[in-house]
Amino acid sequence: MEYKKSFLDGPNDLYTVIFTKNIKFPTLIFIHGGPGLNCGLLEYLIEYDNLFSALQYNLVLYDQRACGRSPPIPLEVTHADNVNDLLNLYYFLVSEMKMDIKGMIGHSYGAKILADCIWLHQLNVFPIFVGISDSLLTPRLKNILLDLAWLRTHDLEKYRYYFSQLNDRNLPKLWQLTEELALIVKQSENRYPAFWANVEWYEKAKDILLTLNLPINSQVFNSVRRGMYSNEESLKLNIKNMKVAYLWVNGLYDSIMNGESALVDQSEITAFFQSAHYPHIEENPRFCSLLNGVLANESTRDEFP
pLDDT of 305 reads 38
pLDDT of 267 reads 64
Q: How far is CA 48 from the centre of its chain?
A: 21
Interatomic CA distance for residues 107 and 128, integer angstroms = 8
The yes-or-no verdict on residue 227 having pLDDT over 90 is: no
Helices (H), the chain: 40-49, 79-91, 109-121, 137-152, 156-165, 171-185, 199-212, 218-228, 261-264, 279-282, 284-298
pLDDT of 48 reads 96
Interatomic CA distance for residues 153 and 141, integer angstroms = 19
Percent of all residues in the chain with a pLDDT value above 90, rounded to a whole number: 59
pLDDT digits (tens, 9 = 90+) for 134-166: 888 888 888 888 888 888 888 899 999 989 888
User: What does the DSSP 8-state code read for residue 72?
Assistant: P
Taking CA 102 as the corner, what is the angle to CA 291 and CA 138, rounded to the nearest 5 degrees?
60
pLDDT of 262 reads 58
The yes-or-no verdict on residue 302 having pLDDT over 50 is: no
Highest-scoring range by mean pLDDT, 34-43, 129-138, 183-192: 34-43
pLDDT of 291 reads 97
Domains of the chain from N-terminus onward: 4-134+196-298 (3.40.50.1820), 135-194 (no CATH)
**Across residues 162-187, what is the average pLDDT?**
79
Interatomic CA distance for residues 132 and 304, integer angstroms = 23
pLDDT of 300 reads 46
**Across residues 82-111, what is the average pLDDT?**
96
pLDDT digits (tens, 9 = 90+) for 36-49: 999 999 999 999 99
Range of weakest confidence among 196-200, 230-234, 293-297: 230-234
Q: What are the residues whose beta carbons fall under 8 Å from the beta carbon of 145, sequence distance 6 or more? A: none
pLDDT of 303 reads 45
3-state secondary structure of 58: strand
> Comparing C-alpha atoms, which of 301, 280, 300 is closest to residue 291?
280
The yes-or-no verdict on residue 23 having pLDDT over 70 is: yes
Range of weakest confidence among 10-14, 22-26, 206-210, 212-216: 10-14
The yes-or-no verdict on residue 91 having pLDDT over 80 is: yes
pLDDT of 260 reads 58
pLDDT of 61 reads 98
**CA–CA distance from 16 to each of 31, 72, 92, 184, 291 (Å)?**
11, 15, 12, 35, 22
Percent of all residues in the chain with a pLDDT value above 70, rounded to a whole number: 92
pLDDT of 31 reads 98
pLDDT digits (tens, 9 = 90+) for 229-288: 777 778 888 887 787 899 999 998 998 887 556 556 556 889 999 999 999 999 999 999
